[in-house]
């Protein structure tokens, strides 16, 4: 999930620096429209190959690659997560006394079955098997700074593999593992400057494991928090609720980064990032747009893969 672009002088200058930039990994900003891109999981696309041969000469009507007609998002042949998706949390750093553990556990426990998450059922695989509106909060573990306070992408995978290999969480190919970092921790590939969270997959113990990084946006409210007074009285955790929802939706519909995304490499949630639709005021003056379980949240909309496609809070 890309960081929020806020209309302040500081943020605008950062955005200018980033716009159209190509980094060492060949990553293109999404407005660099030079043909079809594939997802990075971080909210922008990159070239798959110099001549992206998967985009040319198919002609057999499969996968819909290269087409931007229809619902605005295309299927590229890879798997989606079918059946119940299991959410695991890895609380990295120091979360003692922080209500985030309750706020985000409640989110994962109640997002399944909601009208909001039902949007994900508009996605399907090559055998027309649809994503189901079922999410199970399957457990958590903690990690007290085993990789320090500035995590590289590979160290984040190590946090996940260590938790699985030590049986602190089970190895589950229907799982999405979230590495949730406290506000004294950053991710060195660009937390707060380029993204607020991301998802990807990796081989752990011989299995294809899906995982995500979500940092605490109290570290950079102007980049990664929609509001600094929040429905559950914890702006960092409430900010994370939107990012967790975003990454979960993408991890289920594009778990291996080869299923559902558009020509810019944007996955379903990317297309609606930082948009919230109609909001209501909570008692403390904050805004919310959905109630899940006993809590209100302000979480971003998701892309409905039906008709011409659109961002919505329910389907
Ligand atoms: Zn995203």
- Of 17, 49, 12, 44, the C-alpha closest to 28 is 44
Question: How many A from CA of 41 to the centre of ligand 1?
Answer: 6
Q: Where are the alpha helices (DSSP H) in the chain?
A: 9-18, 100-110, 153-165, 221-224, 235-253
Question: How many A from CA of 194 to the centre of ligand 1?
Answer: 12
The arithmetic mean of pLDDT across residues 122-142, rounded, is 98
Question: How many A from CA of 75 to the centre of ligand 1?
Answer: 16
What's the rounded Cα separation, in Å, for the pair 222 and 228? 9
Place 4 in a pLDDT band, splitting at 50, 70 and 90.
Answer: confident
The arithmetic mean of pLDDT across residues 102-128, rounded, is 98
Question: How many A from CA of 57 to the centre of ligand 1?
Answer: 29
Question: How many A from CA of 270 to the centre of ligand 1?
Answer: 4
SS3 assignment, position 124: strand
Per-residue pLDDT, 47? 76
Per-residue pLDDT, 230? 98
What's the rounded Cα separation, in Å, for the pair 174 and 265? 24
The neighbouring-strand residues paired with 180 are: 91, 214
Question: How many A from CA of 206 to the centre of ligand 1?
Answer: 26
Question: How many A from CA of 269 to the centre of ligand 1?
Answer: 6
What's the rounded Cα separation, in Å, for the pair 67 and 44? 18
Question: How many A from CA of 283 to the centre of ligand 1?
Answer: 31
For the stretch 34-76, pLDDT in tens is 468 999 999 988 876 543 333 333 333 334 444 446 999 999 9
Report the Cα–Cα distance between both ends of the chain, in Å, rounded.
Answer: 22
What's the rounded Cα separation, in Å, for the pair 140 and 67? 40
Residue 28 has pLDDT above 80, yes or no: no
Per-residue pLDDT, 139? 98
Alpha-carbon 74 to chain mean position:
18
Would you say 76 and 63 are in contact if contact means Cβ atoms under 8 Å apart?
yes
Per-residue pLDDT, 65? 43
Per-residue pLDDT, 36? 82
Per-residue pLDDT, 17? 25
Per-residue pLDDT, 46? 85
For the stretch 234-275, pLDDT in tens is 999 999 999 999 999 999 999 999 999 999 999 999 999 999
Average predicted confidence (pLDDT) for the chain: 87
Q: What percent of the chain has pLDDT over 90?
A: 80
- Of 12, 31, 40, the C-alpha closest to 189 is 40
The arithmetic mean of pLDDT across residues 91-113, rounded, is 98
What's the rounded Cα separation, in Å, for the pair 15 and 126? 38
For the stretch 273-288, pLDDT in tens is 999 999 999 999 999 9
Around ion ligand 1, which residues have CB less than 5 A away?
1, 43, 250, 270
Question: How many A from CA of 94 to the centre of ligand 1?
Answer: 26
The arithmetic mean of pLDDT across residues 137-164, rounded, is 98
Question: How many A from CA of 281 to the centre of ligand 1?
Answer: 27
For the stretch 78-95, pLDDT in tens is 999 999 999 999 999 999
Would you say 285 and 231 are in contact if contact means Cβ atoms under 8 Å apart?
no
Question: How many A from CA of 27 to the centre of ligand 1?
Answer: 15
SS3 assignment, position 261: strand
Rounded alpha-carbon distances, angstroms, from residue 81 to 86, 120, 173:
10, 11, 9
Question: How many A from CA of 274 to the centre of ligand 1?
Answer: 11
Residue 197 has pLDDT above 70, yes or no: yes
Per-residue pLDDT, 201? 98
What's the rounded Cα separation, in Å, for the pair 153 and 5? 23
Region for residue 72 given its phi and psi (left: phi exceeds 0; alpha: psi -120 to 50; beta: otherwise):
left
Would you say 244 and 140 are in contact if contact means Cβ atoms under 8 Å apart?
no
């Amino acid at each position: 999930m890309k960081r929020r672009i806020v209309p302040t002088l500081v943020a605008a200058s950062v955005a200018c620096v980033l716009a159209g930039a190509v980094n060492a990994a060949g990553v293109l900003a999404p407005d660099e429209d030079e043909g079809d891109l594939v997802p990075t999981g971080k909210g922008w696309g990159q070239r798959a190959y110099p001549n992206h041969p998967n985009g040319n000469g198919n002609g057999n009507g499969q996968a819909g690659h290269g087409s931007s007609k229809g619902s605005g998002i295309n299927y590229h042949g890879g798997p989606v997560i079918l059946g119940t998706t299991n959410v695991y949390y890895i609380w990295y750093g120091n979360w003692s006394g922080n209500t985030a553990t309750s706020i985000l556990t409640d989110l994962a426990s109640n997002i399944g079955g909601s009208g909001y998450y039902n949007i994900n059922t508009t996605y399907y695989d090559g055998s027309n098997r649809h994503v189901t509106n079922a999410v199970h909060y399957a457990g958590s573990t903690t990690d007290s700074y085993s990789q320090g306070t500035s995590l590289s992408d590979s160290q984040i995978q190590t946090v996940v593999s260590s938790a699985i290999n030590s049986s602190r969480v089970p190895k589950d190919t229907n799982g999405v593992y979230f590495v949730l970092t406290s506000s004294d921790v950053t991710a060195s590939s660009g937390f707060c400057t380029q993204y607020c969270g991301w998802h990807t997959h990796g081989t752990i113990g011989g299995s294809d494991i899906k995982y995500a990084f979500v940092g605490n946006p109290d570290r950079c409210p102007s980049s990664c928090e929609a509001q600094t007074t929040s429905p559950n009285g914890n702006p960092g955790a409430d900010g994370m609720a939107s990012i967790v929802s975003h990454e979960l939706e993408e991890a289920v519909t594009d778990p291996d980064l080869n299923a559902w995304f558009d020509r810019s490499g944007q996955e379903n949630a990317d297309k609606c990032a930082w948009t919230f639709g109609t909001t209501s005021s909570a008692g403390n003056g904050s805004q919310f747009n959905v109630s899940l379980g006993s809590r209100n949240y302000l979480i971003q909309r998701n892309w409905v893969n039906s008709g011409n496609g659109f961002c919505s809070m329910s389907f």
